[in-house]
Structure 1
């Protein structure tokens, strides 16, 4: 089966947090209000589900299926695209999740590199991705590059060499790395139907200058409206305005990092800012105190007073 024709994935994509109840079990009741919040308050109309922000590697395959199904069902008719991350340490599990994503009519799938037994070359990584993509050929396929987490430093440009010949459904990269030379070479090599979405929120403007089609990130859950302004300003050539917004974001993240800013803190910050009850992270990530998150939220409000 040939991949379905779909519009390119562009603009802001929120990497969603996984709502858990106080006992650490998935809480589907929050997903509907979460989707409405992203659309109405942040102007974010596409989501990346079960990724790093969503604690995918701390979830079971069944939990990931349940979450993917609920996100897709509740976003249908409301959001532009729902991309489901299906990467796992196990090829078999990744395939199972890819098949499921096709069954629930996700708008695309993404796969991270395995990071326990790591692929030793671009060719090996490409073969792993090919195996996963082959079981869901109708879905647009994205490679999720995040070397700081995986420890896999294969250049994405090397991975892309002739990738469309082995993965006809290939449609782009979520590039969460700091190597802008590699990123630029990917954009230069890219085809019109591919999307290159940058995943390091603190330096998005640099990636836009290199030709990024959009961005995927956790902070877009709660400051997406401002980053939409940044992207709009950049597109209009108002680099000064875009840079001002980026600098504010960098100040926010620098402040947060000095206090301590891991997934648990980020998740609690989203709860504070949005009013959604996202619950704790799952061990080994530790929960964050309200006071810690509130101090970052206050900094956010000072930097973006209209928020």
Structure 2
């Protein structure tokens, strides 16, 4: 397949669904569901961009070979349907990350994202920048996003510090997926952001606060099944209807607050997507445990009581 056009062509905005990885009941990747999944997101949720092989996609539980197969299938089936497919290529190994970045360029991805390695952690901003540079350099035409998620990685480099002078080191840099609760740092990222960058927020229950700070869009797992409602939230905010936007945000918080009391982890989140969408995405891969049936039904009942059909 052809290599992508230069990185400056498209700006990533709006809602981006962080996709789950479909597995069979035996725990193998299930490519057959991906086409149905994409149609569901577009037609039922009004979501037109996806972030694949990320945290929600259980990337760290996948082999490099599996991630390549999945990325290629997502890109192939999304062509002509999704606005953008961003492939997360971060790994603990620099070489694995580079291999996945090169592959993403070959299959026509619209961008790549990289999480900070979190076994041998970068201890300074400079170390993290150097790691990201080495990954980005092997796919220089692809828009490059830093995936900031300090609660998972334990790498507490401020997003704003990372942005300082980043384009001199990584010319293809196009923004940050900011999955952290530090709204001061997030605001500083937006304030420093260049016109062709995207600062995307990744804490679904705090999206409205991020929009007030100037977020260009959002990446999240719940947008797989409440995307249509969150699109309404964003539209209400754009129109200056804060009461409506706040009402929807509070509904999201009510659902997630209820779910967290029942251990809302990736396994529960994935099962909720199965129940709401009717897709067969399978269970999570160990060490993440499958969702107990009673938990799934309780959360599903709560979901239906809060959110009517789109």
- Please tell me the TM-score bracket, short chain as reference: over 0.9
Structure 2: 5+ residue stretches without partners? none
Q: Give yes or no for contact 1:49–1:85 (8 Å, CA) kept in 2.
A: yes
Q: Which residue of 2 aligns with 1:116?
A: 119
Q: Report the equivalent of 1:10.
A: 13
147, 156, 165: which is aligned to 2:168?
A: 165
Q: Which of residues 214, 232, 237 is equivalent to 2:235?
A: 232
Equivalent pair of 1:3/1:168 in contact (CA under 8 Å): no
Corresponding residue number in structure 2 for 1:296: 299
- Counterpart mapping for 1:135-146 below 5 A: 135-146=138-149
* 1:305 CA drift (Å): 2.3
Q: Separation in 2 of the partners of 1:47 and 1:305?
A: 24
Q: TM-score, normalised by structure 1?
A: 0.99
| CA displacement 1:126-167 (0-9 Å, x = unmatched) | 000000000000000000000010000100111111000000
CA-CA distance at 1:3 after TM superposition: 3.4
Distance 1:293 1:143 in 2: 33
Partners in 1 of 2:297 and 2:13 — Cα distance?
Answer: 32
Residue in structure 1 matching 2:289, options 258, 262, 286: 286
Q: In the TM superposition, what whole-angstrom CA distance separates every residue of 1:219-267 from its partner, at most 9, and x where no partner exists?
A: 0000000000000000000000000000000000000000110000000
Report the CA distance between 1:295 and its aligned residue: 1.2
CA distance in 2 between counterparts of 1:3 and 1:121 reads 30
2:270 aligned partner = 267
1:43 equivalent to 2:63? Answer: no
1:198 equivalent in alignment to 2:196: no
Structure 1 Cα separation of the partners of residues 9 and 284 of structure 2:
34
1: distance between equivalents of 2:77 and 2:184?
Answer: 38
- d(CA) in 1 for partners of 2:170, 2:31: 33
Counterparts of residues 66-85 of structure 1 (less than 5 Å): 66-85=69-88
The structure 1 residue matched to 2:257, chosen from 254, 258, 274, is: 254
Could you say what secondary structure the match of 1:37 adopts?
helix
2:100 corresponds to which residue? 97
Distance (whole Å) between structure 1 residues aligned to residue 211 and residue 219 of structure 2: 13
Q: How many residues align?
A: 307
* Deviation of 1:192 (Å): 0.2
CA distance in 2 between partners of 1:94 and 1:66 (Å): 15
Q: Tell me how far apart the structure 2 counterparts of residues 107 and 173 of structure 1 sit (CA, whole Å).
A: 15
Pairwise CA distance, 1:298? 1.1
In the alignment, does 2:56 pair up with 1:53?
Answer: yes
- Give yes or no for the alignment of 1:27 onto 2:30: yes
What secondary structure, in the 3-state scheme, does the structure 1 residue paired with 2:8 have?
A: coil
What residue ranges of structure 1 are gaps of 5+ in the alignment? none
- Partners in 2 of 1:38 and 1:138 — Cα distance? 27
Query: What is the CA RMSD across the aligned residues, in angstroms?
Result: 1.0
Aligned to 1:179: 182
How high is the TM-score relative to the length of structure 2?
A: 0.98
